Amino acid sequence: MSRARVADALTPHLALQREGGEAMHRQLYSSFRSAILEGMFAPGMRLPSTRALADDLGVSRTTVLQAFERLVSEGYATARSGAGTRVATTLNTSAHRRSAMRVEGRAPRTPERAPRLSRAATEMIDEFNVSRPTHRMVPFALGYPALDEFPVALWARITGRLWRTRATEMLSFTDTRGHPPLREAIAQYVSTARGVRCSADNVIVTNGAQHGIDLMARVLLDPGDVAWVEQPGYRPVRASLRAVGAQIVRVPVDEHGLDVSEGERRAPNARVAFITPSYQAPLGVTLTLERRLALLDWAARADAWVLEDDYNGEYRYDTDPIPAVQALDRAGRVIYIGTFSKTLAPGLRVGYLVVPPSLLHAATRARLASDMHTSVEVQAALAEFIAGGHFARHIRRTRELYRQRQRDLIELASTITGGLLEMRPAPAGMRLLGLLPRGVDAGAVSWAASERGVLATPISRAAPASITEGREGLMLGYAAYDRAATEGALRVLAQVVREQVTKRKASRVAGVR
């Protein structure tokens, strides 16, 4: 190929920026690399001499030499004394032919194939097969605490001091179970506030509650093992259980919580039961003492394990928080799962497991295989935050705040929606169930509201009639949103519900005609 033809071939690729751009030799390297990959230079073709190309481009010969040396070092070209620099002959010639076809305008006929996925990936995709985004912090989105109440300045002081005085520690590995001071702080906190029976030796720090659930699913379950889950229940836990090949058995929830006797009837030999007993997700009911004891009795008899997700245990407004199920466990069958995502901030990604001694060795090794440990900086800062009494004060302050925000939501819903969304107070939690008029589709309302910037989560049709009165409903998160945000979102929601009611009436009239 002549020097002129080389320049012509490179023209679409060669747009060297003389000022303010990337280094010239890197630009030249990228240009030749693209031309080679697109088949403009065939394998074995000789590239122009470095001196001639430097003259053509008005750059130093050193610039061209640096570009060519990189092409050679990465395998795109070869260089031999007396033979010049040539395109490598080892490059995939079929790929060059396909590239040349694209250059000439003839599209290849090779069909695109879907990637072959593992069974675990297929199961997870199926469980999360929803098209609406779920992690936007807009009014009524679930799972968000009051981020406007997070003590940013205090946290910054703590982390700043850690970096000034203990930088090497922050940059090093730590215990796989978690930063020892944080494990001590967690053990003391859950013992006092949640009645959990443990020491720091039983605590494993995780990257949030979901990580802990996934970890224990892999420790406890083989493909084909049976696991109880609440119905309706928390979707991500089903994804973790299905990913390890577990058979899911959905056990109904009523106003008393998980129906343990029905679980025994459906799958008496289940290996694991997942529960949210303090404030059931999503219905908000509390597992009664009678059923807690029945669940523990079954687990001991069946050699089964109970995964207790205490995601909302701190926020109770009518009485003191109810102790965890683990506090009643005398057979060592309960794995307690806690998180700071609801009490502080989900972005911290810190949760924890309290594991019975019999499982501690296996759980620790599983954590080592998973990702070794959580960020040392976040763990160390959180340990000081708890030990300094700041966490307990934050819980007390936000408990009162959420109590008031729940009242605001109920009051505003009554005024703004005119009965189209019936809200009832709840004794705990960070969300409320709003019941829609009979016949109104919660999914349609939710979708239309999301298009207008409001995330109202439809309640599952599996929800018991004793709670929903046979109507569909929406779950509304309220903890993260002040009165003004709540009022604006309710106006949007009220308008959407009115539109759905109007459509339903119109369709009924059309049906009569």
Structure confidence at residue 88 as a pLDDT band (50, 70, 90): confident
Each residue's pLDDT tens digit, 34-54: 888 877 778 888 888 888 888
The arithmetic mean of pLDDT across residues 435-445, rounded, is 92
H helix runs in 194-259, sequence order: 209-220, 235-243
Report which DSSP code applies to 201.
G
pLDDT number for residue 469: 86
Is the distance from CB of 28 to CB of 63 less than 8 angstroms? yes
104 has pLDDT over 50:
no
CA distance 255 to 275: 14
Is the distance from CB of 305 to CB of 273 less than 8 angstroms? yes
Structure confidence at residue 10 as a pLDDT band (50, 70, 90): low
Structure confidence at residue 393 as a pLDDT band (50, 70, 90): very high
The arithmetic mean of pLDDT across residues 283-294, rounded, is 94
Residue 134 or 264, more confident? 264
Task: Domains for the chain: give ranges and CATH numbers.
Answer: 3-103 (1.10.10.10), 393-512 (3.90.1150.10)
Rounded to 5°, the CA angle 8-14-15 comes to 130
462 has pLDDT over 80:
no
Residue 420 or 125, more confident? 420
SS3 for 18-58 is CCCCCCHHHHHHHHHHHHHHCCCCCCCCECCCHHHHHHHHC
Average pLDDT across the chain, whole number: 88
409 has pLDDT over 60:
yes
Structure confidence at residue 97 as a pLDDT band (50, 70, 90): very low
Q: Which amino acid is at 95?
A: A
The arithmetic mean of pLDDT across residues 17-26, rounded, is 76
398 has pLDDT over 60:
yes
Is the distance from CB of 205 to CB of 186 less than 8 angstroms? yes
Chain position carrying tokens 């199961």: 123
17 has pLDDT over 80:
no
Long-range contacts of 487-491 (CB under 8 A, 24+ apart): 487/412, 487/416, 488/139, 489/138, 489/139, 489/140, 489/454, 490/409, 490/412, 490/413, 490/416, 490/417, 490/421, 491/416
Report the predicted TM-score, pTM, of the whole model to 2 decimal places.
0.82
Each residue's pLDDT tens digit, 218-235: 999 999 999 999 999 988
Helix or strand holding residue 481 (H, E): none
pLDDT number for residue 126: 81
pLDDT number for residue 319: 82
Chain length of the chain:
513
Is the distance from CB of 75 to CB of 88 less than 8 angstroms? yes
Structure confidence at residue 117 as a pLDDT band (50, 70, 90): confident
Each residue's pLDDT tens digit, 137-189: 789 999 899 999 999 999 999 999 999 999 999 999 999 999 999 999 999 99
Structure confidence at residue 511 as a pLDDT band (50, 70, 90): low
Residue 336: alpha-carbon gap to chain centroid? 20
Each residue's pLDDT tens digit, 331-376: 999 999 999 999 999 999 999 999 999 999 999 999 999 888 899 9
Chain position carrying tokens 């058995």: 249
Is the distance from CB of 436 to CB of 474 less than 8 angstroms? yes
Structure confidence at residue 478 as a pLDDT band (50, 70, 90): very high
